Amino acid sequence: MKLTGGRVPRFLDGPPEDVFGVLLFGPDRGLVKERSEKLASIWAAGADEAFSSTILTADDLSGDTAKLADEMVAMSLLGDQRLVRLRLDHERNGAAISKIIKNLDTNPEICAARLIIEGGDMTPRSAIRKTFEAAGHFAAIGCYADNAADLANLVRRSLNEYNITIEPAALDYWVPLLEGDRALSRNEIDKMVLFKGAGKEAHSVVTTADIKAIASGAQAASLDDIIMAAMNGKPGACDDAFQRAVSGKVNTAVILRSLQRHISRLLEASTLIDAGERAESAIKALRPPVFRMQERNFLSQLRLWRGGHLRKILSQTLIAEEQVKTAGAPADAIVGRLLLAIARFAANKK
């Protein structure tokens, strides 16, 4: 079965008794690991790990694929729930593994263990993925990078566990820096919790200053510095901020996605203005709202950029994103050139 959307958290909180295995796959390895650990804590709760858990790798099955089938039907020595965990770094034995899963799915009564497979980014053509998605007693869950709303909820939820809150402006500033991998996001949040004293102080609040002080990437350059300089037509300031960001190890993909979000928000406001809204009203209608300190910049950019131009540069950012994802692509150069082109275009429009 294929699990998506709201079905995923419900499943992870309490997997049905008639489900004997899960394939966790996708580009976000941190999220794959996090969900794997959660399932393992449920399926092997209270079990003796030394006797009840078996860890396999793709290479372990290279010479003996049947080992997976043997482990799935072997009874526990202690009578408790057995767990088989397969770390799938490649799919060279995909057809053989798929055949085993199909047999187990057809004959669920022979399953004496639960199975968790941790995979990478599998295409819809993947034999293993297709088998899990089509099965009745096995499930497939894609693990993709959190969007901005998911990350904001993760931050608030994680901080609330320690009675820590976060200012709205600080949350908006922090979320773009957390994008990319769930494990890295968790590490950054844990670091902030420690920085704020793990909630030992009453009414502890995370501010933008806190994020600038310790968050990875925040010290080197503000994403706003880069994007605002580009959209305001300031090539020199844009290039300077971008180079400082690169030197500070800020992921260029994060910069690109932040630029796309900013352009999309400008385009949304521009559409409202074309429909008859006043610029100020259009800005206030955006969600999340524009920072008060950025409203003047936002207004000037709305005057500088028309909807047609915004759609064109948004299209260019999507092309750049595809180029950046190509193996071996010079991501810094691709994004840097795009930012400078935008800044120079805006400068010529003034």
* Helices 295-304 and 223-231: angle between axes, nearest 10 degrees: 30
Distance of CA 85 to the CA centre of its chain: 23
Which pLDDT score is estimated for 77? 65
DSSP single-letter state for residue 75:
P
Burial per residue of 229-255, b for 16 or more beta-carbon CB atoms within 10 angstroms, e otherwise = bbbbbbbebbbebbebbbeeebbbbbb
Cα–Cα distance, 290 to 250 (Å, whole number): 23
pLDDT at res. 220: 43
Does this chain's domain 2-142 share its CATH topology with 148-214?
no
Could you tell me if 226 and 245 are in contact, meaning their C-beta atoms sit under 8 angstroms apart?
A: yes
Structure tokens at 21: 């295995």
Q: Is CATH 3.40.50.720 the right assignment for the domain spanning 223-349?
A: no
Q: What is the pLDDT of residue 223?
A: 77
Residue 291 vs residues 98, 168, 266, 297, 323: alpha-carbon distances, Å: 51, 9, 13, 10, 31
Return the CATH number of 2-142, one of 3.30.420.40, 3.40.50.300, 3.30.465.10, 3.40.50.1000: 3.40.50.300
Query: Residue 241 and residue 107: Cα distance in Å, rounded?
Result: 60
Domain ranges in the chain? Answer: 2-142, 148-214, 223-349
Confidence at residue 160, expressed as pLDDT on a 0 to 100 scale:
92
Class of domain 148-214: mainly alpha
User: Please, what are the averages of pLDDT over each run of 10 residues along the chain (350 residues)?
Assistant: 91 94 90 91 70 81 89 77 88 92 95 93 93 97 85 92 92 81 82 84 85 67 80 90 80 87 89 83 76 78 88 93 85 93 87
What confidence score (pLDDT) does residue 94 get? 92
In this structure, are residues 156 and 166 in contact, taking their beta carbons and an 8 Å threshold?
A: yes
